[in-house]
Amino acid sequence: MSINLATKLREGTKKSHSMAENVGFVKCFLKGVVEKTSYRKLVANLYFVYSAMEEEMERQNQHPVVSKIYFSQLNRKQSLEQDLFYYYGANWREQVAPSASAKAYIKRIHEISATEPELLVAHSYTRYLGDLSGGQILKGIAQRGMNLTEGEGTAFYEFADIPDEKEFKTNYRGAMNELPINEATAERIVDEANAAFGMNMKMFMELEGNLIKAVGQMLFNTLTRKRGAGSTELATAD
């Protein structure tokens, strides 16, 4: 008997999903407040996370569970490399490193691959279905917020090998529902998905301080310019 894992994951992670969306960095992003320095740090962290996840998904591509939801067309590593080249330049590899929260995330991915590979399903679901579901909306927000031209700095949101994202998500969920797992394993996958949301939240929260500092500096600069203009006007009037 098949287990409706897709529904279990959707229902079982609702609270975590809502909490992630209410992290300050994410709330600002969704409202169009996107600061390039903070954003490129997020891209760098995601590069290391996806590199680890895709390395382990490839390593486990013959696993009876993981193999069923392993689709190489979802891979984000190369697209993130394109974005890092855009934000950091040709020597981007020398400039980026995972943050503390990203390192913990990466460690967990390698750990479960070595001990409980079926839990990789939770990480794949949490990241890839989220990317597919809101990718184009987030791409538009990033472009407007950072004044990006089309095709620059947003390769992460482009799935060139998936012509119909809605159909792909339907097929992906169908594959999850046919996984050869029992109820106990399904529950562990849901628990791991909630843990994955938590790890993503920690990455966002790390960036929150950078964003607040940057926005504060922008406001300060704006106020300083206005005060300067006001002083000039008063001097001229005298």
Q: What is the pTM of this model?
A: 0.87
Pairwise CA distance, residues 100 & 102, whole Å: 5
Q: What is the pLDDT of residues 73-104, one digit of tens each?
A: 999 999 999 999 999 999 999 999 999 999 99
Pairwise CA distance, residues 72 & 29, whole Å: 28
Residues 62-83, mean pLDDT to the nearest whole number: 97
Token readout for 224 is 């300083």
Averaged pLDDT score across all residues of the chain: 89
Token readout for 158 is 């482009």
φ and ψ at 236, to 5 degrees? -65, -40
Per the model's pLDDT, the better-predicted residue between 177 and 227 turns out to be 177
Residues 100-111, mean pLDDT to the nearest whole number: 98
Q: Are 116 and 104 in contact (CB under 8 A)?
A: no
5-224 CATH: 1.20.910.10
For 19-23, 64-68, 139-143, 213-217, which range has the lowest pLDDT when averaged over its residues? 213-217
Pairwise CA distance, residues 204 & 24, whole Å: 8
pLDDT band at 208 (very low <50, low <70, confident <90, very high): confident
**What pLDDT shows up at residue 235?**
33
Length of the chain counted residue by residue: 238
Token readout for 116 is 């409980």
